[in-house]
Amino acid sequence: MPAFFIVKPDADSSATTNTASPAGAPSAQAIRAEDRVGWGEKMALGAGGLSLFLGTAAIGSFAIPFYQMTLKLDPAWLAAALAIPRFLDAFVDPLVGQFSDNLQSRFGRRRPLIAIGAVLQALAFGLIWMVPPTWDQLSLTAWLVVTQVIFYAGFSLYSVPLTALQYEITPDYDERTRVSAVSGFFGKVGELGYNWLFPLASSAALFATIVVGVRTVGWGVAILLLGLCGLLPALFVRERFFHRAAEQAKVKIGSAIWSAFRIRAFQILVALTLLQIVAGMFASNLDRYLLVYYMSDGNVQAGETLKAWLSSSYAIVGFAAILPVTWAAQKWGKRRAIIAAFLLTAVGAAGKWFLFTPGHTWKIIFDAMLCGPVWIAINILTPAMLADICDEDELRNGFRREGVFGAIFSWIQKMGYSAAFFGAMLSLKLTGFDAALGGQQAPETIFRLRTILAGSTALWAVVAIALLMTYPLDRKRAHETRAQLEARRGAV
């Protein structure tokens, strides 16, 4: 019997691990024993979250210094090469979500697809970096596009059912936050390391050339983190709603999408996600150019090392913020906890203007301290909020269709990433940036880069707070929804 079928999908999802609410959180109700998720399952799901993070972030992070800064691929070509596969892949996600929701194998709706996707994405990721470095611009672009199309096909098979599995792992409002906190921890492990991939690969002490280093590190990430870690949820995480879903009618993608966008809470989360993507793409890509060409005088390795330290600082701040964010969500509710993080980000937006300047480069850690907490708040609380929305959908429409909801959300994310990345690279072009000038960029180019970096972050924070003020689902509503569902179809 294949290894990934170790866990029966209809196994009891109860656990005896003590996950009582922290002191000072009287608003959180006691979690039923049958709603608790054991640490083994949380860790396996979290390891899958590490693969999910790297599948989302590693290509862009690794491709910019390799394809553009090392192989000298034009920024416009690189933007198109990174945007096109994600744009195409976005249309696959809803189909995968529908297929997963309707799948009735003996091993569950989610885990077989997770296993297949983990293997495919690992193989394709390694191939991305095998491009011959002497090829011309068109050939480099074609290789990057084709290998990414294969990668994102596997990533869709992996990410959509994995996301659905997280949504349905427990019906409890607060336990969902705790499950997401563990996944957020693993995501921060990925964030701590992924921007060190190129500095590691470019180390002359370890590898004969940068190309050799990139290929070695790329295959290491593919096999260990995308492949092996990606398989753990298929091995060890149970499916809670498997039998309940087997009794329902087939999920139809058109009606599911229509129903999803009729839910006000879902509309708000979609808007927040699009804002997050745009702000994140501008911040994580344009700050790299300031670090390399403004703060490091065009020294790519020095600037990429600064970028790695900055990302590591964000990850460390994220680790430190996991418990406060989880506590705040249980004390104040998920909506207010995210609003608090965005208020801090608004301060950090102003700080970016002064922190991304030459001299005393250590000061960039303050950027992480101000703008880092919001990312872990989003990573922890958005999945938990979407799980609450799936309950709301079942109450209104009678379906368990976490796969389609996860796919719709993933589709929106990928479309947003494609547009935002293209926009970020286009903005880079419009600033007058010229890689051939190295550290001698025109003053107006640097001014425009700094303005976009600070301004996009400020706009994101202000608009996000305004949207969250109208978010309708809270703990009381979640408990009422669950009680009505269990009165209708029983507990699961």
Domain of 220, CATH number, reads 1.20.1250.20
Distance CA 72, CA 438 (A): 12
Closest of 145, 150, 143 to residue 125, by C-alpha: 150
Which residue has better confidence, 191 or 468? 468
Between the CA of residue 57 and those of 179, 281, 299, 348, 437, what are the distances in Å?
22, 10, 23, 22, 28
The three-class DSSP label of residue 20 is coil
Q: Which helix (H) or strand (E) holds 363?
A: none
Determine the pLDDT at residue 419: 67
User: Residue 282: what pLDDT?
Assistant: 67
Is 20 part of any domain?
Answer: no
- Tell me what pLDDT residue 148 has: 95
User: Which pLDDT score is estimated for 385?
Assistant: 93
Q: State the pLDDT at residue 12.
A: 35
Does residue 10 form part of some domain? no
Looking at the predicted structure, is the pLDDT value of residue 17 above 90?
A: no
Greater pLDDT, 13 or 337: 337
pLDDT at 300: 82
Residue 23 domain flag: no
Residue 448 near residue 354 (C-beta atoms within 8 A): no
Phi, psi of 108 (to 5 degrees): 115, 175
**Token pair listed for 212:** 């050799």
Looking at residue 5, what is its pLDDT? Answer: 39
Residue 358: CB atoms within 10 A of its CB come to 12
Q: For 219-233, 242-256, 278-292, 332-346, which range has the lowest pLDDT when averaged over its residues? A: 242-256
pLDDT band at 10 (very low <50, low <70, confident <90, very high): very low
Provide the pLDDT for residue 249: 67
The token duo for 91 is 């249309």
In a domain, residue 205? The reply is: yes
Flag the least confident range among 47-61, 101-115, 149-163, 418-432: 418-432
CA distance 302 to 352: 20
Please check whether residue 169 lies inside any domain of the structure: yes
- Residue type at 101 in one-letter notation: D
Asked if residue 71 lies in contact with residue 144, where contact means CB atoms within 8 angstroms, the answer is no
Count CB neighbours of 335 within 10 A.
Answer: 21
User: Is the Cβ–Cβ distance between 482 and 171 less than 8 Å?
Assistant: yes
Most confident of 6-15, 97-106, 389-398, 464-473: 464-473
Spell out where 23-104 has E strands: none
**Can you give the residue range of the structural domain that contains 50?**
37-489
Residues in Cβ contact with 463 at an 8 Å cutoff, skipping those fewer than 6 apart:
275
Asked whether residue 16 is domain-assigned, the answer is: no
Token digits of residue 323: 């418990």
User: With contact defined as beta carbons under 8 Å apart, do 182 and 43 qualify?
Assistant: yes
Instruction: Read off the amino acid at residue 64.
Output: I
Indicate the pLDDT class of residue 198, thresholds 50, 70 and 90: confident
Tally Cβ neighbours within 10 Å of residue 463: 15
- Whether 22 is in a domain gets the answer no
Pairwise CA distance, residues 22 & 323, whole Å: 10
Please enumerate in sequence order all residues whose Cβ is within 8 A of that of 45, keeping only pairs 6 or more positions apart, or say none.
162, 165, 166, 169, 179, 182, 183, 233, 237
Which pLDDT does position 371 carry in this prediction?
Answer: 92
- The mean pLDDT value for 113-140 works out to 95
Classify residue 119: in a domain, yes or no. yes
Top-ranked range on mean pLDDT: pick from 15-29, 98-112, 154-168, 201-215 = 154-168
The whole-chain average pLDDT of the chain stands at 85
Tokens, residue 287: 């700050």
Counting the structural domains of the chain, the total is: 1
| 79-93, 129-143, 272-286, 338-352: the lowest-pLDDT one | 272-286
Give 105's DSSP letter: B
The answer on pLDDT for 28 being more than 80 is: no
